[in-house]
Structure 1
Amino acid sequence: MLTLRWLVRRRRKAKRPGAERGLEEFERMIGYRFRDPELLVCALKHRSIIFETGERRGATNERLEFLGDAVLDLLVAEQLYQDNPTSREGHLTRLKSLAVSGRQLANKARRIGLGSYMQISSSEARSGGRNRRSILEDALEAVIGAIFLDGGLEPARVFVRRFITDDLDGRLIREKEKNYKSLLLEYVQGNALGLPRYRVVAEDGPDHEKTFHVEVSVGEKKVGTGVGRSKKQAEQQAAREAVAHYGLRNG
């Protein structure tokens, strides 16, 4: 037993080719200590490193990324289901897509400095691989998969809620605020009111500096008007007024 523990400690402290920072530091940072550190080693190993070390392809993080993607989907879906008891399936699907988008995952990975813990080839590192979106989002999902295999669903849930969905409510509110057309469409379809119709009712100014006036109607009723430097901007403003008309501004 002492020999096994010594080997595990040695593995955590060992210098990994292509990595800038160690496993113990990463475990302290995320607040989870692996019973099997080899899972973490694998999760942080990009496929580019095998060309420098000669390891087999299966030793990289691709399989763990596949598993972690599914675990992340489950945990985010669970959280959205619990936190939004009156939302319809279509709305929940859109919220989940926002929460687990590649851009969001890469930003979360950057926040914890994930790239510096990864094993990647020297050529990949020189070309900016430690900050590349695709590499970071895959590695973050691989870490989730590794935590799930090592400790089960509960520690994976803790990790996801601490590092990925910690600001989910704020992100969803900001997304709603900037996309009033989608919010209006979702509401009128969900209540069988028909489709919103946008119509340009006036244009002011010269061609290079036009101002557009738009109104939006649902059924036979005008529910909002908007003004903007482009038709799209004016439509968003009209939809914003319509959202307020239906009492959805903070919904």
Structure 2
Amino acid sequence: MSDDTPLIPHPSNADDNAGTVAAEQQAAPAKKPRRRVSAKAAAKAIEQRIGHTFADPTLLATAFTHVSALKSSRNRTESYQRLEFLGDHVLGLIVSDMLYRAFPKADEGELSKRLADLVRKEACADVAKTLGLHEAIKLGTVGPGVGERLRKSVIGDICEAVIGAVFLDGGYAAAAHFVESNWTERMRKPVRPLRDAKTVLQEWAQGQGLPTPVYREIERTGPHHDPQFRVSVELPGLTPAEGVGGSKRAAEKLAALAMLKQEGVPSGNNDG
């Protein structure tokens, strides 16, 4: 399947799809039912993986639509991003409730650490991969090799968008069912140490009597929907180190990791 072919048709493409189907009716009428069944089957398969049948299928379609698939990038509200925003907060509430009930003797600090670990983008991406949701992400026409990189970079966001879509379509109970089905086992695992490379570098610098590391954005390249940031980290008396990532935060972590490696400091890297 090419990046241009939607697994779940988006309502914003309805007019174009209608014109295409009409043309195909005249050329080869027998193919029309097969296309309809295929689209329905694809949507049904995603609903089965999610565990929720949508009353409003447009929510499901929007949850998987990347901004690059829109006719105009200025109309970003038709992409998954608004649903991601909602799903992020719904996920936080549901997981907080799960943790509160599951660990009655845990203090606020432990609960916060567990929450941060469970709602991080890497955890969401892991859930999405387990359910095969990345296969349904709808991209527009992108350059060679960009499609797979985009899918990897947004898969966690798509998972949050799905949670937002389920919440809007079925309410809190439906969203809670999805989260509990996919996060309960993860919640039971020992809490993961939350020390990324930036934290390790800052603690090491303080131990050396140095100030807080300074991060500077050196360059931003690539299209709006797939940017690449190059960031440097600086400490007095040390050679600056650089990192490149799909977000400033990712680039800063990689820069910190590079400086730790440069100075021979164990990173304790947990950035996933």
Normalising by the smaller structure, the TM-score range is: 0.5 to 0.7
Could you tell me how far 1:115 is from its partner in structure 2? 1.2
Residues 67, 73 of structure 2: 8 Å contact kept: no
Deviations 1:43-82 (A, max 9, x none): 111111114x889321111111010001000000000000
Q: Is the 8 A contact 2:65 2:79 kept in 1?
A: yes
- Kindly state the Cα deviation for residue 126 of structure 1 after the two structures are TM-superposed: 3.4
Equivalent residues in 2 for 1:1-251 (5 A)? 15=39, 22-51=42-71, 56-123=75-142, 126-127=145-146, 128-129=148-149, 131-133=151-153, 135-170=154-189, 172=190, 175=192
State percent identity of aligned pairs.
32
**1:33 offset after TM fit, Å?**
0.3
Tell me how many residue pairs correspond in the alignment.
166
Q: Relative to 1, partners in 2 of residues 1:125 and 1:46: Cα closer, same or farther, differing over 3 Å?
A: farther
Q: CA RMSD of the aligned region, Å?
A: 3.3
CA distance in 2, matches of 1:152, 1:125: 40
The Cα of 1:166 is off from its aligned counterpart by: 3.0
1:137-189: per-residue Cα shift (whole Å, max 9, x none)?
Answer: 1110000000000010011011011123433212x25x36x99xxxxxxxxxx
2:169 & 2:36 partners in 1: Cα distance?
Answer: 15
**Shift in alpha-carbon separation, 1:12–1:79, aligned structure 2, 3 A:** farther
Provide the C-alpha distance between the structure 1 equivalents of 2:92 and 2:144, rounded to a whole number of angstroms. 29
Give the Å deviation of 1:100. 0.9
User: Contact between 1:65 and 1:142, CA under 8 Å: does it hold in 2?
Assistant: yes
In structure 2, what is the Cα distance between the partners aligned to 1:82 and 1:161? Answer: 12
Distance in 1 (CA, whole Å) between partners of 2:73 and 2:49 is: 30
2:149 and 2:95 map into 1 onto residues whose CA distance is 27
The TM-score with structure 2 as length reference comes to 0.54
Shift of the 48–87 alpha-carbon distance from structure 1 to 2, 3 Å rule, reads: same
- TM-score (norm: length of structure 1): 0.58
Query: Can you give the 5+ residue segments of structure 2 that lack an aligned partner in the other structure?
Result: 1-32, 196-263, 268-272
Q: Distance in 1 between matches of 2:105 and 2:120?
A: 23
Quick one: distance in 2 between partners of 1:150 and 1:168? Answer: 26
Q: What CA distance in whole angstroms lies between the structure 1 residues aligned with 2:124 and 2:70? A: 25
8 Å CA contact 1:45–1:120 kept in 2: the answer is yes
Task: Give, in whole Å, the separation in 2 of the partners of 1:151 and 1:124.
Answer: 37
Q: Quick check: which has more Rg, 1 or 2?
A: 1
